[in-house]
Amino acid sequence: MRQSAVRRFATIAVASGLGLILATAPEPVGAFALSEELTNGTPYPRDDLEDAARWSNTSGSLVADKKRGLGGGVEYAVAEDFCEVLLPRFIDDPKPQCADLLSAIARAFESWSDGHPVLKFTDVSGAVAPELPPRGAPDPRRGYGAEIDILAREPSGFPRPGPFGAQTQFYYVQADPVGTGGRPLPGNTLTSADIVLNPTKCFYLDPVLERSTCNHFETLVLHEIGVSLGLGQPDVDARRNWDNDVHPENPVVIDCKEPTQGLRPSRRFDPNAVMISSKGLAQRSLPGLANDDIGGRDFLYPPCGASQ
């Protein structure tokens, strides 16, 4: 995927599925990837760690103080017409209700924050209207709508839709973010993200259905949230994956105060991780975050409090 000429924003076209279901689940394999749009195009993967994009651990909130960051939780809003546009594309019988979709979205966010002392999410639907940057916006990195917008739009209404069930676009400024430990970390500061589901595709909520041509809704949203946090897809370029030991079955343990400490490139990854791409096929149901996904989350947002 090509790097933006002006590094003010990054666009990730997210594949929606794995296409291959293994007969037996492999042992967990520890390796994560950062956003493919922030590699600088260099052959040296180490600088990816120094160029990562994160939400900054600033105080205040978007709703209360017009401040963007982890303060008050990363605030997300679901578009008012989201259910109306997307529900007809569900194959469940009976079809789910809007409340079912909203509950699945909330569970997906909770999966990413589960067990983390700082990373939280707040639903501000109704208080903030989701908004895509206007075409030709002079500075889209200023942030439009909520911190994470969730919408359903026809491919004609969103750039570069491709053959995917969803696409996530995020924006950032080239400024060091404040880490979860209260100290600046090198890299870029996220300002907003738009998760857009494609209503020309089909979806299902009940994981028992498992249709190879349709997207499991909750797993797809789970993947897109990972992109909005700054994570990449470990199967896109395995040269840029990260682990911290030579034992692939071990979780990726991140040092709270020095998150880059001990990390080394690793070509191995868990094919059942949520952040694996689908290469354009439909997203199958996955039980939740794998060690790879948690390791990437904890690198970007080390699990420590501001006093540490």
CATH number of the domain where residue 78 is located: 3.40.390
Has residue 1 been placed in a domain?
A: no
> Quick one: pLDDT band at residue 106, thresholds 50, 70, 90?
very high
Has residue 22 been placed in a domain?
A: yes
Section 107-111 average pLDDT: 98
Has residue 308 been placed in a domain?
A: no
Q: Which domain holds residue 231?
A: 9-300
Beta pairing, strands 188-197 & 166-173 = antiparallel
Backbone angles phi, psi at 223, to 5 degrees: -65, -45
Q: Supply 235's token pair.
A: 């199967």
> Quick one: pLDDT band at residue 87, thresholds 50, 70, 90?
very high
Domain count, the chain: 1
CA distance 122 to 110: 10
Instruction: Kindly tell me if the per-residue pLDDT of 110 is higher than 90.
Output: yes
Q: Of 222 and 16, which is predicted with more confidence?
A: 222
- For 146-184, give one letter per residue: b (16+ CB within 10 A) or e: bbbbbbbbebeebeebebbbbbbbbbbbeeebbbbbeee
Instruction: Kindly tell me if the per-residue pLDDT of 18 is higher than 80.
Output: no
CA distance 30 to 25: 15
List all residues 6 or more positions away from 126 whose beta carbon is below 8 Å from its beta carbon. Answer: 77
The top-scoring range by mean pLDDT among 13-17, 156-160, 201-205 is 201-205
According to the model, what pLDDT value does residue 41 have? 64
List all residues 6 or more positions away from 157 whose beta carbon is below 8 Å from its beta carbon. Answer: none
Section 240-251 average pLDDT: 79
Section 231-256 average pLDDT: 84
- The rounded mean pLDDT for the chain is 84
Has residue 306 been placed in a domain?
A: no
According to the model, what pLDDT value does residue 267 have? 84
Has residue 58 been placed in a domain?
A: yes
Q: Is 6 exposed, middle or buried (0-12, 13-18, 19+ CB in 10 A)?
A: exposed
pLDDT tens digits for range 126-167: 999 999 988 777 777 778 999 999 999 987 766 665 678 999
> Quick one: pLDDT band at residue 257, thresholds 50, 70, 90?
confident
Q: Taking the CA of residue 254 as centre, how many other CA atoms within 13 Å lie in the half-sphere pointing to its CB?
A: 26
Instruction: Report the amino acid identity of residue 56.
Output: S
CA distance 40 to 101: 37
Has residue 307 been placed in a domain?
A: no
Name the pTM for this structure: 0.88
Has residue 3 been placed in a domain?
A: no
According to the model, what pLDDT value does residue 69 have? 96
According to the model, what pLDDT value does residue 248 have? 63
Q: Of 294 and 253, which is predicted with more confidence?
A: 294
Has residue 131 been placed in a domain?
A: yes
CA distance 295 to 59: 25
Helices in the chain by DSSP H: which ranges? 46-50, 62-65, 82-86, 98-113, 217-229, 291-300
According to the model, what pLDDT value does residue 26 have? 42
For helices 217-229 and 291-300, give the axis angle rounded to 10 degrees: 30
CA distance 164 to 263: 32
The answer to whether the beta carbons of residues 267 and 4 sit under 8 Å apart is no
CA distance 117 to 101: 26
- Count the Cβ atoms, other than its own, within 10 Å of residue 217: 28
